[in-house]
A = this chain, B = another copy of it.
Amino acid sequence: RTLRIGLIPGDGIGREVIPAGRRILEALPSSLNLNFSFVNLDAGFETFQKTGTALPDKTVETLKKECDGALFGAVSSPSTKVAGYSSPIVALRKKLDLYANVRPVKTTAGSSNGKPIDLVIVRENTEDLYVKEERTEEGPNGKVAEAIKRISERASHRISTIAGEIALRRQGIRAAAPGTSSHSQPMVTITHKSNVLSQTDGLFRETARKALAAEKFSSIHVEEQIVDSMVYKLFRQPEYYDVIVAPNLYGDILSDGAAALVGSLGLVPSANVGDGFAIGEPCHGSAPDIEGKGIANPIATLRSVALMLEFLGEPNAAAKIYTAVDANLDEAKFLSPDMGGKATTQEVLDDVLKRL
């Protein structure tokens, strides 16, 4: 099987980590019978400055017509408002209907100095406040701006369903490798704020409950947590959680919170997943402070590559990458500066490749 992968480095350290993602795909053992071809695609703030658009049509068209999956690096946010600029990743998620943003957060044996964490945040990726429908009026007391938070039954249902499927798949992997996880039963925690937003978050909650009550999910333990308590609990007992499903904005916030628990955003991958398409995306941003120094942590990208492969139906290739990355972290000899080490992006990558 040959997979064609779009490479969208974007801005900042995106350009330093996406090449590492390409390298690991090229280095996968030939026994897997997987080949890759690549196409470089533009997006980001620099693209905006050059062309007037942060997400050229050509990028979207090429992804739709030619590609099986993609890797997205990062984009810089301008520090003051720039007219006409808006985040290309948010637009891309919507244009390709990548409705699930999947963010696993996991400690490895060596990296964990506390309790072992092994959870995944499944974030709705197309609606909520991210519909970006805003308006501003000039009132008697100054400006008043409004934004729409939209929650639909359809989007809530499909995100909850994929959360349930992920919970079952994780349970399958755990069953195959006993002792690697503290979870004995698949669990999904529904996050919302329906005590205040009874209609929108109420609809999310109710729909998630219904979706997860399906026969095929009968082995899953379903709980709920109001978003503010969820953040509290996430920090007090992260080892308790398995799959957390949340509307877009809460998912965004929770995944950064969970990243803090494993030590560095530089470790946390994500995949933007639609029907038959997935974009791997490290959770860190463009990191202007370390841009160009060659010291960005490639781990989040390597794990994002693996996550993309999982959703493209290649779990064995994904497992190879996860194992190599975990071994690098557990040995802790080649760690980048965000992890307290001194290794460059290239050195971390080489160490992982060696273990493939």
Contact = CB atoms under 8 A, between A and B. Distances in A.
A252 B196 CA distance: 11
A158 to B, nearest CB: 10
Contact of A203 (B77, B90, B143, B231): B143
B153 A142 contact: yes
A259 B157 CA distance: 32
Interface residues of A, number: 59
A233 B285 CA distance: 14
Nearest to A133: B146
A249 interface: yes
How many copies of this chain sit in the oligomeric assembly? 2
Given A146-B148, A153-B141, A199 B259 contact: no
A260 interface: yes
A225 to B, nearest CB: 11
Interface in A247-288: 249, 252-253, 255-257, 259-261, 265, 285
A146 B200 contact: yes
Given A149-B149, A150-B146, A134 B232 contact: no
Contacts of A146: 148-151, 199-200
Interface in A195-237: 195-200, 202-203, 206, 226-229, 231-236
Nearest to A268: B232
B145 A90 contact: no
A145 B136 contact: no
Contact of A152 (B144, B151, B199): B144
Given A77-B226, A147-B149, A196-B90, A231 B253 contact: yes
A139 interface: yes
Contacts of A129: 149, 193, 196-197
Pairs A-B, 5 closest by C-beta atoms: A142-B153, A235-B260, A134-B199, A228-B256, A141-B154
Given A77-B195, A233-B260, 9 more contacts: A130-B196, A139-B152, A146-B199, A146-B200, A227-B253, A228-B255, A229-B256, A231-B257, A235-B257
